[in-house]
Amino acid sequence: MKVFLVLAAALAVVSAKSFSPRRVKELEYGFCDGANAVLEFNTISIVPYPIRIHSGETLTLQVMLNLLETVPEGVQISIKLKKLGLFDLPIPCIEIDGLHIGSCDYDGQSLLDVGADFLCPAYFPDGQECVLPLNPGMYGGDPYELVFGDLPDIIVDLLASGKYEATAHAYLADGTEMTCIYLRAELE
């Protein structure tokens, strides 16, 4: 029996050491299986990559999306974030200084309100206000530089290096799913 336990323990150690989730060499994104394709991804990029989230770090983001369907009033967004590994680790919703980070649920209009200072009108089609409903058209534009100020240690520790996956489900006011989008990225 001791020999069996020693062999099982050795196998577990070797398996754990040889397991290395595949490196996310570039940003991966798309629609969840079976999801409605309500938009086209034209450009999504983050520089530097892998992503570095530290005080004073600068990220350059560029996004161009062609929205194919109207996003109506009352849309709810449910984001699930997890760190990928031997065992995926769900990241809970944490509120820090009024900002919700992690696996959180949001009202669609509230998300627009939070981003209004830098999103509108620069990244919206002509004539589209920063309110729901969002009409079909091209959203995005020139690269945007995001400079992190002093980040609390809990944020830096929470988003330690590794591979992450975010899944965003958009639900209509009646509770039916409008779409589901995933994003996989690596942080260092």
pLDDT reported for residue 184: 97
Q: What's the pLDDT at 158?
A: 66
Any idea which fold 24-187 has?
Answer: Ganglioside M2 Activator Protein; Chain: A, (2.70.220)
| 133 prior amide bond cis, ω within 30 | yes
- Per this entry, what is the length of the chain? 188
- CB neighbour list of residue 146: distance below 8 Å, 6 or more residues apart: 58, 59, 60, 61
User: Is residue 81 within 8 Å of residue 91, measured between CB atoms?
Assistant: yes
pLDDT value at position 105? 97
**Residues 60-91: pLDDT tens digits?**
999 999 999 999 999 999 999 999 999 999 99
Domain ranges in the chain are: 24-187
pLDDT of residue 128: 97
Residues in the chain where the model's pLDDT stays below 70: 1-24, 155, 158-159
- Tens-place pLDDT, residues 46-67: 999 999 888 899 999 999 999 9
